[in-house]
Amino acid sequence: MAYLADMHIHSIYSYDGQMRMESVIKRGLELGLKYLAFTEHIELDQITLKQVLNRFKCYCEEVEILQEKYPNIKLIKGMEVSNPERHIDELKFLNDLDLDYILGSNHMLPREYSEKEVLLYYKRILQMVKNGGIDAVAHLDYIRRRIDEGKIHSEIIEEIFAAIIEKDMALEINSSAARRIGKISFPNSEKLELYQRMGGSKVTIGSDSHRLNEVYDNIQIIDKSYDFNKGIYLKRKFVPYK
């Protein structure tokens, strides 16, 4: 069955979002989608918890009004938390909110792309996974916007996958790789094969869309290309897509 979900969308509740939620929903309905996850950026390095809460309150109100207006598409309440490994207490607080889905991201791209810096980039992701409190790891290969594969050590990737499996999290397959670097996905297919060989199965798929024409972008291709236990999150629980 086709995966009719987009698990990574930014509306105007994200600092860089440009889409009103209702336009996304209309686009989703046009595309025949069943689930849309609004995973708004939470940049804990830049905003206070009070600001997060104020914004979250408005966000929830809007989701609830729109959910009532559009009962044929399920709206998933999400957050994309940047570098939660740096904000343990704040992450605990976010875990008490009424959310369906928390994505963890490392957005701290190195200033220079030495092997050491690249390794540090992935070590942050490993720490984020080990700390828990997130449901899925977003765009694992985000750093590949800037560097080629040669500088990435496979051992650290294996450690990250082992931790994801151990923590029973999902790995996000992010389709923005197609528009950003002309590749099928973040992570790339070699890493996804490794995840599978290591026993990883749970994945979510998201477009990381900030504009209407990016909603569900390339997700169909990813869905057809990879055989995983693809799912969505509701009330912080993985639900296999059926």
Residues at the contact surface with Zn ion, assessed by CB under 5 A: 80, 105, 208
Whole-number minimum distance, CB 8 to Zn ion, in Å? 6
Whole-number minimum distance, CB 42 to Zn ion, in Å? 11
Quick count: other Cβ atoms within 10 Å of Cβ 98? 9
**Helix/strand number for the chain, H first, E second:** 8, 9
Going by DSSP bridges, is the β-strand pair 170-174/136-137 parallel, antiparallel, or unpaired? parallel
Whole-number minimum distance, CB 68 to Zn ion, in Å? 26
Measured from the CB atom, is 85 or 208 closer to Zn ion?
A: 208
Measured from the CB atom, is 80 or 223 closer to Zn ion?
A: 80
Measured from the CB atom, is 105 or 175 closer to Zn ion?
A: 105
Contacts of 195 (CB under 8 A, 6+ apart): 161, 164, 171, 187
Give the position of tokens 């798929």: 205
Whole-number minimum distance, CB 101 to Zn ion, in Å? 12
Measured from the CB atom, is 39 or 157 closer to Zn ion?
A: 39
Question: DSSP per residue over 197-225, as a string?
Answer: HTT--EEEEE--BSSGGGTTTTHHHHHHH
Whole-number minimum distance, CB 10 to Zn ion, in Å? 6
CA distance 9 to 78: 9
